[in-house]
Chain A
Amino acid sequence: MRLTVKKLAKAYGFLWALKDLDLDLPPGSFVALLGPNGAGKTTLLKLLASLIMPTAGSIEFDGEPISRNAPKSRAQIGFMTPADHLYENLTVEENLRFFSALYKRHHSSSAIGAALEAIGLAPRAGESVGNLSSGMKCRLSIAKWQLLQPGLLLLDEPYGVLDGKGIDLLESFLQAHCAQGNLAIMASHHVSRALKLCNRAIILHQGRMSFDEAKQQPWPSFARAFSEFLPQGESWNS
């Protein structure tokens, strides 16, 4: 699994949300996508998910261009936003069955049951998703993408509604996902958590990539690059 992005740009009217972005992610990459509000993180994730079309540039996943007309490449991309992309009036189990069938991953009842058991939602399998809390919906999203097994998983602020156990579930899923050679890109403001997991960090600022490096220990260059986005008086201890 390899992601190649060349000269990617997205404009909303006269405003460039993203400009001249180049990226080459080898198999197993886990990228922490960081930056202040309005830096272009969600725009980049939506472009990679082909939910919006780029103004310029190209995106290739495993040598195949990602576009709205390429269902084969779309099947390889997952986009996880907390508590989103689930049907409220379908039950927990029906949601998993529906999306599995949509992605042509026909899982047995026991596989779906095991996925629900792992996230602690097995007793509520027959309940409507609308009855679940935001954190539980987020856990269900984890189970969903675990079953769908995308090659590239995009995550937009996944930590927001998760409790401690939910965070553990998410992180162990992401580590296993990348250990298999798959890719993950996670936009988050929980910098320390994101940095702990990732093997590469990208900082976006005003639609441009201001930092892109593989993880090091210690990481002074990251501390320098990130310091300007911290609240006044705080510093980053790498």
Chain B
Amino acid sequence: MELLTQSYLLLQKDLRLELRRRDSLLTMFFFGTLLLFVFHFSFDVAADKMAEMAPALLWLAFLFTGTLGLAQLFQSERENHCLDALLLSPLDRGALFLAKSGFNLLLMILVELVVMPLFWILFNLSSWNLLPQLFLVTLLGTVGFCVLGTIMSAITLRARARELLLPLVLFPLMIPVLLATIRCMETVLKTGTFNDAAPWLRLLFGFDVIFLTLGVLIFDWVIES
């Protein structure tokens, strides 16, 4: 309970700071929609072919957009040595992990809520009825991205070229999440149900639970080493 109270306090602080600065959210929105327009002008394929490519293209956009958000994740703590102020306090480091993951998740969800319908509009896709299911799958993938991304963002926090290092460390580890999410979305788009996507969903859910638990347990070591 204490862990959740502390996480809420930190999350509240991060949201307040983001509302004032709007750095991360605006950059992510702009970059996400920009990528969609680049895809739109680059691919001249039929709508049915595009439906097959949609999950991979969408996740490419989410991956790059999310990495931008992750690079900014500890920005407020880097100023004025505020990370030291947090580490000095009696705060449970697991709460810091939960708050940062939750904050990045919120930003990603907001971006996805705009980018996904925009993708359907730009590529003239007809499967609007499947968007809620696809969004649920995307949500599971985004949780995985955010928890692993927060751990990696903390690991590279004190690195000199952290903006370059973060994607190099994160992307290979993201392969299971990417693969499972894209395959799952493809199946939902083809069949219209989750039935055939069950193994991928289990993989995604397992990944989320494992890395969420791992993050809470090891963040103490990660943030201080």
Report the Cα distance A95→B91, complex, angstroms.
16
Main secondary structure of the interface of B (DSSP, over half): helix
Asked whether, in the complex, the Cβ of A51 is within 8 Å of the Cβ of B80, the reply is no
Residue A214, interface by CB 8 Å: no
The one of B13, B16, B81, B220 that contacts A85, using a Cβ cutoff of 8 Å? B81
Given A68-B224, A79-B84, is A99 in contact with B89 using a C-beta cutoff of 8 Å?
yes
Q: Which residue of A lies closest to B85 (CB)?
A: A85
Report the Cα distance A74→B89, complex, angstroms.
6
Interface range on chain A (Cβ under 8 Å from partner): 20 to 34
CB distance from A212 to the nearest CB of B (A): 26
Asked whether, in the complex, the Cβ of A79 is within 8 Å of the Cβ of B80, the reply is no
Report the Cα distance A72→B105, complex, angstroms.
31
Asked whether, in the complex, the Cβ of A89 is within 8 Å of the Cβ of B89, the reply is no
Most buried by A among B81, B86, B220: B81
Report the Cα distance A88→B80, complex, angstroms.
8
A-side contacts of B173, CB under 8 Å: none
Asked whether, in the complex, the Cβ of B17 is within 8 Å of the Cβ of A49, the reply is no
B-side contacts of A49, CB under 8 Å: 88
Main secondary structure of the interface of A (DSSP, over half): loop
Asked whether, in the complex, the Cβ of B90 is within 8 Å of the Cβ of A87, the reply is no
A-side contacts of B84, CB under 8 Å: 51, 79, 84-85
Report B11-53 CB contacts with A as 1/0, cut-off 8 Å. Answer: 0010011001100000000000000000000000000000000
Residues of B within 8 A of A (CB): 6, 9, 13, 16-17, 20-21, 76, 79-82, 84-92, 220, 224
Q: Which 9 pairs, one residue from A and one from B, show the smallest C-beta to C-beta distance?
A: A85-B85, A75-B90, A71-B90, A102-B89, A84-B81, A74-B90, A89-B20, A89-B17, A84-B80
Extra contacts besides A51-B88, A98-B13 (19): CB < 8 Å: A51-B84, A68-B220, A71-B90, A71-B91, A77-B88, A84-B84, A84-B85, A85-B81, A85-B85, A86-B80, A86-B85, A87-B17, A88-B79, A89-B20, A99-B89, A101-B9, A102-B90, A102-B91, A103-B89
Residues of A within 8 A of B (CB): 49-51, 53, 68-69, 71-72, 74-75, 77-79, 81, 83-90, 94, 98-99, 101-104, 128
